[in-house]
Chain A
Amino acid sequence: GAVVSQHPSWVICKSGTSVKIECRSLDFQATTMFWYRQFPKQSLMLMATSNEGSKATYEQGVEKDKFLINHASLTLSTLTVTSAHPEDSSFYICSARALAGLADTQYFGPGTRLTVL
Chain B
Amino acid sequence: KNEVEQSPQNLTAQEGEFITINCSYSVGISALHWLQQHPGGGIVSLFMLSSGKKKHGRLIATINIQEKHSSLHITASHPRDSAVYICAAERNYGGSQGNLIFGKGTKLSVKP
Contact = CB atoms under 8 A, between A and B. Distances in A.
Contacts of A46: 99-101
B86 A43 contact: yes
Contact of A42 (B40, B96, B98, B104): B104
A106 B100 contact: yes
Contact of B100 (A34, A38, A103, A110): A34
Contacts of A91: 41
Which of A42, A97, A110 gathers most chain B CB within 10 Å? Answer: A110
B99 A49 contact: yes
A85 interface: no
A44 B102 contact: yes
Nearest to A46: B99
Interface residues of A, number: 24
B26 interface: no
B44 A44 contact: no
A44 B45 CA distance: 14
Provide the main secondary structure of the chain B interface. Answer: strand
Nearest to B4: A43
A107 B104 contact: no
A113 B41 contact: yes
Contact of B98 (A32, A38, A109, A113): A32
Contacts of A43: 86, 102-105
B75 to A, nearest CB: 22
B36 to A, nearest CB: 10
A43 B88 CA distance: 10
Interface of A: 32, 34, 38, 42-46, 49, 57, 91, 93, 95, 97, 103-111, 113
The 8 A-B pairs of least Cβ separation, nearest first, read A108-B43, A110-B42, A43-B102, A105-B48, A111-B41, A44-B102, A43-B104, A97-B98
12 contacts: A42-B104, A44-B43, A49-B96, A91-B41, A93-B43, A104-B48, A107-B45, A108-B43, A108-B44, A109-B42, A111-B43, A113-B41
Given A97-B98, A110-B43, 13 more contacts: A34-B98, A38-B41, A43-B86, A44-B88, A46-B99, A49-B96, A49-B99, A106-B33, A106-B45, A108-B44, A109-B42, A110-B42, A111-B42
